[in-house]
Amino acid sequence: MADIKQEEGRFYLGESEMPDAEVTFRESDDIVIEHTMVVEDKQGSGIGTDLIDHVVAYAKEQGKKIVPVCTFAHEILSSDKKYEGVWEGPL
């Protein structure tokens, strides 16, 4: 897995100011994934899914559910049974 770093409200790969990839979220009772971005030359490498997996692990640690507002996050979470029970929303 890539060297993914964490800051409040996001996980990212690369430099903080100009990440190669990042997922942003906000926390309340749930973790709302707002946006996932992967630079063009790294798309298709699985980094986006790695980022979502980090949010899933974080949500489990916090005892929270994920609400995927981001369409990419929704696509990943709804595509595999391993994510059942950790996110909220229609398939």
End-to-end CA distance of the chain: 27
pTM of the model: 0.91
pLDDT greater than 80 at residue 90 = no
Question: Quick one: the chain helix, strand, coil %, rounded to 5?
Answer: 35, 30, 35
Coil vs helix vs strand at 44 = coil
Give the pLDDT confidence score for residue 88 in this predicted structure.
78
Q: pLDDT tens for residues 37-88?
A: 999 999 999 999 999 999 999 999 999 999 999 999 999 999 999 999 999 7
> Which residue do the tokens 């979502």 mark?
52
Residue 34 has pLDDT above 60, yes or no: yes
Contact, 46 vs 40, CB < 8 A? no
- At residue 1 the predicted structure's pLDDT band, cuts being 50, 70 and 90, is low
Domain boundaries, the chain: 5-83
Superfamily grouping for domain 5-83: Gcn5-related N-acetyltransferase (GNAT) (3.40.630.30)
CB 3 within 8 A of CB 21: no
